[in-house]
Amino acid sequence: MNSPEISSGAQKVLSAAQELFANEGYASVSIAAIADRAQVSKANIYHHFESKDELYCAVLKAACLASAEMITHDAGQDNNYAKQLTNFARSHVLHLTNNPSVSTLVIRGLLEESSNIDATTNDLTAHDFDCNFNRLVTLIKAGQVAKQIKPEINPSTLATLMIGANILFMKARNVLDEVPDTDYPLDPENFANTMIDILLHGVLTEQQEDKLL
């Protein structure tokens, strides 16, 4: 069921590499460090993978696969698009917070331009990101066709809002919880709900909305 070439030893290496690459980036992680964590010899890594680059690509590929898999699981063909957006936001932010190393890898690939590594890594993460991003855009457009979402809003902008906020939430949680900003919603589901609330109904009070007419 898996790819043809995943022995248990290679899997140990992959897991160790994934965690280290996600936490510290490509260049900071040495083969020796990966070998240490995987409890194998340095030479053994080169028995399973051609080079450090190839190992990184393999790690990234696995991460993208896992990242793409999760979003597939919604597909609840509800006709209520508010609910569908909520589900997307919730499952997305849960995926981010539950699989931080996978997510970090994909995001890092996205945010780091002109990688010194093989160009395929860029395409890999870009395609994966595009995949999830476009799924959301498609969902939004469907909501517009169903006349539940305003026709004049830009689907890409809305998608950027949702995904950008989720990413920042995941990453900034570690930083912000040190500061006692008492009202910051640390629970992912809680955050997704308050976020969707804003996006669905806007932030202006009714009297302000009336004033604009």
Partner DNA sequence: ATTAAAACCGAACGGTCGGTCAGTTATTGG
Partner DNA sequence: CCAATAACTGACCGACCGTTCGGTTTTAAT
- Residue 65, sorted as left (phi over 0), alpha (psi -120 to 50) or beta, turns out to be alpha
- Region 152-211 residues binding a second copy, contact defined as CB under 8 A: 153-158, 160-161, 163-169, 171-172, 174-176, 178-179, 181, 183-185, 191, 194-195, 197-205, 207-209
CB 9 within 8 A of CB 48: yes
The pair phi, psi for residue 107, each rounded to 5°, is -65, -40
- Region 162-191 residues binding DNA, contact defined as CB under 7 A: none
Q: Which CB atom, from 32 or from 145, has the smaller least distance to DNA?
A: 32
By CB under 8 A, tell whether 93 contacts a second copy: no
* Stretch of 8-16, 64-72, 94-102, 141-149 contacting DNA, by CB under 7 A: 8-16
Q: Which CB atom, from 76 or from 164, has the smaller least distance to a second copy?
A: 164
CB 118 within 8 A of CB 98: no
By CB under 8 A, tell whether 2 contacts a second copy: no
CB of 5 to a second copy, least distance (A): 29
As a whole number of angstroms, the distance between CA 55 and CA 57 comes to: 5
